[in-house]
Each structure stands twice: as structure tokens, then as C-alpha cells.
Amino acid sequence: MALNKNEIAQRIAQELQSGWYVNLGIGIPTLVANYIPKGIEVEFQSENGILGMGPFPFEGEEDADLINAGKQTITALPGAVYFDSATSFAMIRGQHVQLTVLGAMEVSETGDIANWKIPGKMVKGMGGAMDLVASADNIIVAMMHTNRAGESKLLKSCSLPLTGVGCVKKIVTNLAVLEVVKGGFKLLERAPGVSVEEIKAATEGTLIIEGDIPEMKL
Amino acid sequence: MNKIVANVEEACEGIQDGMTLMIGGFGLCGIPENSISELVKLNVTGLTCISNNAGVDDFGLGLLLQKKQIKKMISSYVGENDEFERQMLSGELEVDLIPQGSLAERCRAGGAGIPAFFTPAGYGTEVAEGKEVREFDGKPHILESALTADFAIVKAWKGDTAGNLVFKGTARNFNPMMAMAGKITIAEVEELLEPGELNPNEIHTPGIFVQRIFQGKGYEKRIEQRTVRQK
């Protein structure tokens, strides 16, 4: 069975390491915060100006002056700190944030990512995504393997306007965990019950398969 | 030094057609609601607005867009506003979309007397078109220039008559850098205090960056995405 969005988030959460500052993008990445493994301590940064972001507030406790980058109401954990946007991106550009998780419309086998614009159709802007992907050492993309039309989102080269060049390291989709290496997408794990053949069929870019590919453990 | 003005009308005096304005806020969080309403009333047009977002259809900068007062927007993300997308795709509105961190730093640079800087953000994308590229430590960077404005309009939680400002929560966002980059900076505050009432150790924006300050009123503080968890 292919993973649902929560399971993709759950698999990505297994990558977290204690002591990391982590920036989660909008959509599936936001869900990662719900699955932090026991014993792992991380702190979440939101680029609109908070470190130490907590869960959503209880009803009646929403504060209009306390939101995340997706404009959702949030809470602050003890030890949290607020800062301005220039300081926030100093943390990001200066590589003080250890992991960035974000969504994508397309990823290429050389690690290019496109996630901000469909010319003539959807023009929302890049927000902080270009700063994040240009600087982060460790970028994980969370997305579905194919788009709504069933076309692969893992391509030889991106067709949409790029957000960043050669920056994606790892991809977790509903079908697989893949690493971007020299020569293409290296298949690391399969979703439970999903065959290598199915992943191959859903991947337009070069897929590198070495030996037996284990199933993900959730 | 006393920066206090009587009201929003006096604060916005001198704002004219065709000017460049910086407007603080992230989404609807920390936007200068009183001054935006006044801009609608003044009906100034042909504005260039530098603001991270463009509000929603019926609040924030969306109010100026509805009346077609904005000629050009310089922003990083405009996804919450259908009227904006319509005006942009039809070519009525000029739009310069730039990475959020570059936008923040360009405002900061403008206020700090730094004409330009190199950043890795946007290299290899359409944002880099026409910009100088230079390698540092083997990594390509693009040259981004500073931004300034005829007026910067910011919103703070508390301020004193000397123009010193304190922001609340994530409503700080772009406000401090924009305050630095305005030829004239207007600050509207929820609570206006006398000098000495703010702790000098805890002031976010020093009053030197603020020319006019007034006590705002009737803040709606609309929430864009009310998200809660179950008890």
C-alpha cells in the first residue's frame, strides 16, 4: 500500500536527530511535528520569526500575533524566541538550521527542485523556499510520487521554473525513499507492499537500484 | 525627541500618488491596519508597495488592490489573494516576486547604508536573470540591491513618544527592517507610552528609525488560518 500523507510525515520524522533545529514547510512537512520519535529532542523554526514553535492552540486560545509561516495559529514552547525576518533568514542562510523539509511539484535527478510557479496559471510566489533550498545542507522533499494526472514528479530535468539547483538530498514519497546521487535517484526503501517495478514505472528520471530494496518500517 | 502625531491623518500627511511605500507585516500578522485604511481614504494611486504579502481580498493590502491604487507590488508570496492573482495574470499589476530572505535583507541593507549584497538564494532560477553572479568559496551567489521607500509604515505592540518600538510575538517579522529603510517611517502602536516606560534593554527598534508615531485604534487583527487542536 502506498503511504498516505501522515505516513510520509512519519517516515521523515525518523530522520530527525537530537539537537537539530528544523524548518518545516507548508503541507505534508508540517505534519512531521506530530511524529517526533521518543527520546529525540528537536526545535522547530518558522521563517516568519519563531524558534521553539509548539502545537496548534486549544480553541479559544488563538493569538493573532502568533502564527507560523503557513499563517496558521500556533503556540510557543517554554524557551521559545521571536525575531525579525532578517534574523530569521540569517539563521537559514547561515546554516544554523540543520534540516529543511519542504514540498515540491517536481524534483530532477540532479537535485533541482521546482515548487513555486506554474507559468500563466499559478503564481503565488516563492516565499522563503529559495533562501531555504539555496543554503540548507540537508533538504528532504516530501511529496506524492506522481501528480494528479498520474505523471511522475521525479524527472530527468524539471519542466517548471526552478526554486533551486542541485540542492535536494533526499525524497520521501508515498511509494519510496530515494537519495539523489551522482547519476540519478537511488532507491533506498519501498513503501510496504509496493514493488520495485511500481516505483520504476512511476519514476521518469534515472532510478538506481542496487541489491534488495527493503520495505520502510513505520 | 518627540515623534508623536495626533492621529492617522497627520501620520500619513505627504503620501502622494506614485510613491514607494513599505508596509510591515507577514500575512495579516503585524500589519498597520489604521494606516492602510487611511491610504484607502486618501485614494492615492500609482503606488509601489513593498510588502511580504498582499493581504487577502477584503483586508490588508487587498483593500488597496480592490481600488486599483497599487501599480507595482514587491513581495515574496501572494497566494492568499485572488484579486491580486487576477490583476497580475492580466498584466494590470506589475509584480516583482523575490525570495523572502532577500526581501528582508534588501530592506535591512537599505536602512543600513549597504547598497547591495551577494546571496545564494535564487541562483539558477529566474530570480537571477540579469543579476551579477560571483563565486565565493566555490559556491555561486547573485547580487541583490538595497531597497528604500518614501514612506515605511509599521505596526508595533508598544511604543513611546521617542519612537522606540516593541513588537509582540511573530507580529515583528518585516516591521523592524522596514522601519530602518523608510525616508519617513510611520509607526502605529497599540499602546503609546511616555519615555522611560519601556525598558531600554528590551526595545526592538530604536526611535532613531521612526519619524512619526501614533496610538492606533480598533485593531481587528484578523486571523488568516485559525487552526486549533482538540482538548
For A14-53, what is each residue's pLDDT tens digit?
Answer: 999 999 999 999 889 999 999 999 999 999 999 999 999 9
Residue B204 lies in a domain: yes
The x, y and z cell numbers of residue A62, run together, are 488563538
Segment A170-182 shows an average pLDDT of 98
The pLDDT of residue A119: 87
Best A53, A61, A71, A82 member to test B by mutation, with max B CBs in 10 Å, is A71
Residue B167 lies in a domain: yes
Q: Residue B99 belongs to what domain range?
A: 8-109+148-215
How far is A198 from A202, CA to CA, in rounded Å?
Answer: 6
Chain mean pLDDT for chain B:
96
The pLDDT of residue B24: 98
Q: Report yes or no: A54 at the B interface, CB cutoff 8 Å.
A: no
The pLDDT of residue B38: 98
Backbone φ, ψ for residue A75 (5° rounding): -125, 165
Q: Report yes or no: B214 at the A interface, CB cutoff 8 Å.
A: no
Segment B29-34 shows an average pLDDT of 98
For strands A176-181 and A99-102, give the pairing: unpaired
| Cβ atoms of A161 and A116 closer than 8 Å | yes
Residue B117 lies in a domain: no
Collapsing DSSP states into helix, strand and coil, what is residue A198? helix
Chain mean pLDDT for chain A:
96
Residue B231 pLDDT greater than 90, yes or no: no
Residue B170 lies in a domain: yes
For residue B152, which residues of chain A lie inside 8 Å, CB to CB?
A: none
Residue B230 lies in a domain: no
CA atoms within 13 A on the CB side of B102: 31
Chain B residue with Cα closest to A63: B223
What type of residue is A106? E
B residues 150-189 closer than 8 Å to A (CB): 157, 167-177
| Cβ atoms of B99 and A128 closer than 8 Å | yes
Residue B138 lies in a domain: no
Give the domain CATH number at B199. Answer: 3.40.1080.10
The x, y and z cell numbers of residue B43, run together, are 485614494
Collapsing DSSP states into helix, strand and coil, what is residue A208? strand
Task: List pLDDT tens digits, range A45-93.
Answer: 999 999 999 999 999 999 999 999 999 999 999 999 999 999 999 999 9
Active site residue A204: no
| Cβ atoms of A116 and A125 closer than 8 Å | yes
Residue B119 lies in a domain: no
CA atoms within 13 A on the CB side of B50: 31
Q: Report yes or no: B133 at the A interface, CB cutoff 8 Å.
A: no
pTM of the predicted protein model: 0.96
The x, y and z cell numbers of residue A189, run together, are 526503501
Q: What's the ipTM? A: 0.97
Domain count, chain B: 1
Residue B129 lies in a domain: no
For residue B177, which residues of chain A lie inside 8 Å, CB to CB?
A: 84-86
Among A1-5, B3-7, B79-83, whose mean pLDDT is lowest?
B79-83
The x, y and z cell numbers of residue B197, run together, are 516606560
Residue among A41, A43, A47, A106 flagged as catalytic: A47
